[in-house]
């Protein structure tokens, strides 16, 4: 029986009944063949691809001639993701020039000898390996002083710690202070004597009544303590008092008894700047206490003291 070859087939070849690519048929890879429609691949009688002299399969365009770079080690940067900042316009703030303004309005490092401090490094500068910009130290204005101002002086305090209102210059000779009237408390008078001056005519009422005193009398130091309290309340609480170098006179002129009312006065008799204590002045003072009669008039002087005190000069 004679085989009849159909168009597009070859008898007695297995697998060759498949239509061959032509002008209107897709190639083996699904692409269209060349313009002539011929398969550029060299095949044997079984349809296998025969490599050409270059070692390729013969498909595609002709191989390129070898280039000098072939065979070099692979570039380690090949295949890296593209730098998102490549191709950007140059940032004018990335490089600090001598007179380039910074963000704070100052220039960069400036001319030689200009003081400056390194500014922060941006991420772009870190990637590009650029040095940090320099921020110029602001120059002192003509009104500035290189020496920092000294702290304000603390206020001058009075003898009790409140702001002083009387100073050495206010205590002029001839000035008199009325220190008020104090009443002698019997219980306090005896308690003071029992604690500091326990003599019988100060603490034992029976013996004191049978003596020429006719009853208890106050310790002289209790009486001067009453003067001191009046002096603090009416003068030292207002004056810039420092201390006292001491007494020059202390006299008890008449006995003081429980219930007496004593009028207290202070007189300034002298003043001069202190030679031993700069910033202070020495004031000479006389204190007196008078017992008042039923008509509130002075009946008898009971205490006289003369002493000195230091007072601060008025600040200038």
The three-state secondary structure class of 134 is: strand
Q: What is the 3-state secondary structure (H, E, C) of 95-113?
A: CCCCCCCCCCCCCCCCCCC
CB 11, CB 5: distance < 8 Å: yes
The three-state secondary structure class of 283 is: strand
Tell me the two tokens of residue 92.
């004018």
pLDDT, one tens digit for every residue, the chain (316 residues): 444 444 444 444 444 444 454 444 444 444 444 444 455 556 666 666 666 555 545 454 555 555 555 555 555 555 565 555 555 555 545 444 444 545 554 444 444 444 555 566 666 666 566 666 655 556 656 555 566 777 777 889 999 999 999 999 999 999 999 999 999 999 999 999 999 999 999 999 999 999 999 999 999 999 999 999 999 999 999 999 999 999 999 999 999 999 999 999 999 999 999 988 889 999 999 999 999 999 999 999 999 999 999 999 999 8
Tell me the two tokens of residue 93.
């703030």
Residue 272 and residue 239: Cα distance in Å, rounded? Answer: 16
Can you give the pLDDT at residue 224? 98
DSSP alpha helix (H) spans, the chain? 123-128, 186-196, 200-203, 205-210, 220-231
Residue 109 and residue 98: Cα distance in Å, rounded? Answer: 6
**Is 234 a domain residue?**
yes
Can you give the pLDDT at residue 316? 85
**Is 132 a domain residue?**
no
Burial class (CB in 10 A: 0-12, 13-18, 19+), 309: buried
Can you give the pLDDT at residue 140? 57
Residue 172 and residue 128: Cα distance in Å, rounded? Answer: 81
Other beta carbons within 10 angstroms of residue 247's beta carbon come to: 11
Cα distances from 183 to residues 140, 216, 258, 291, in angstroms, run: 67, 16, 8, 10
Domain extent for 264: 168-185+221-312
Other beta carbons within 10 angstroms of residue 243's beta carbon come to: 11
Cα distances from 234 to residues 85, 97, 172, 231, 241, in angstroms, run: 83, 73, 17, 6, 13
**Is 148 a domain residue?**
no
Whichever domain contains 181, its CATH number is: 3.10.129.10
The three-state secondary structure class of 307 is: strand
Can you give the pLDDT at residue 137? 58
Nearest CA to 258 out of 188, 167, 195, 194 is that of 188
Looking from the CA of 278 toward its CB, the CA atoms found within 13 Å total 0
Nearest CA to 311 out of 228, 239, 248, 227 is that of 239
**Is 277 a domain residue?**
yes
**Is 308 a domain residue?**
yes
**Is 7 a domain residue?**
no
CB 303, CB 253: distance < 8 Å: yes
| β-pair partners for 94 | none
Report the first-to-last Cα separation within the chain, whole angstroms.
144
Cα distances from 303 to residues 200, 221, 255, 256, 312, in angstroms, run: 21, 11, 9, 9, 28
> How many domains is the chain partitioned into structurally?
1
The structure's pTM equals 0.54
**Is 243 a domain residue?**
yes
Q: Cβ neighbours of residue 175 under 8 Å, at least 6 residues apart?
A: 267, 268
Pairing state between β 298-312 and 280-292: antiparallel
Can you give the pLDDT at residue 139? 60
**Is 247 a domain residue?**
yes
């Amino acid at each position: 029986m004679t085989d009849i070859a159909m168009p597009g087939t070859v008898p007695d070849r297995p697998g060759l009944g498949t239509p061959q690519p032509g002008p209107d048929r897709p190639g083996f890879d699904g692409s269209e063949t060349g313009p002539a429609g011929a398969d550029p691949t060299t095949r044997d009688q079984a349809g296998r691809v025969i490599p050409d002299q270059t070692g390729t399969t013969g498909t595609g365009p002709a191989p390129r001639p070898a280039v000098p770079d072939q065979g070099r080690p692979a570039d380690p940067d090949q295949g890296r993701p593209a730098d998102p900042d490549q191709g950007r316009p140059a940032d004018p703030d990335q490089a600090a020039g001598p007179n380039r303004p910074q963000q704070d309005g100052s220039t960069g490092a400036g001319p030689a000898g200009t003081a400056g401090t390194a500014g922060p490094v941006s991420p772009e500068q870190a990637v590009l390996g650029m040095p940090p910009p320099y921020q110029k130290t602001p120059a002192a204005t003509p009104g500035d002083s290189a020496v920092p101002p000294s702290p304000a002086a603390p206020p001058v305090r009075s003898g009790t710690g409140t702001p002083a209102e009387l100073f050495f210059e206010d205590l002029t000779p001839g000035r008199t202070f009325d220190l008020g009237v104090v009443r002698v408390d019997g219980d306090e008078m005896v308690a003071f004597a029992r604690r500091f001056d326990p003599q019988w005519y100060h603490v034992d009422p029976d013996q004191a009544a049978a003596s020429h005193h006719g009853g208890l009398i106050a310790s002289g130091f209790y009486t001067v303590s009453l003067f001191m309290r009046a002096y603090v309340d009416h003068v030292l609480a207002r004056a810039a008092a420092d201390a006292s170098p001491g007494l020059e006179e202390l006299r008890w002129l008449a006995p003081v008894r429980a219930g007496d009312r004593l009028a207290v006065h202070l007189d300034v008799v002298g003043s001069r700047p202190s030679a031993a204590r700069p910033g202070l002045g020495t004031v000479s003072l006389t204190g007196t206490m008078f017992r008042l009669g039923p008509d509130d008039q002075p009946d008898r002087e009971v205490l006289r003291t003369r002493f000195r005190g230091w007072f601060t000069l008025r600040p200038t």
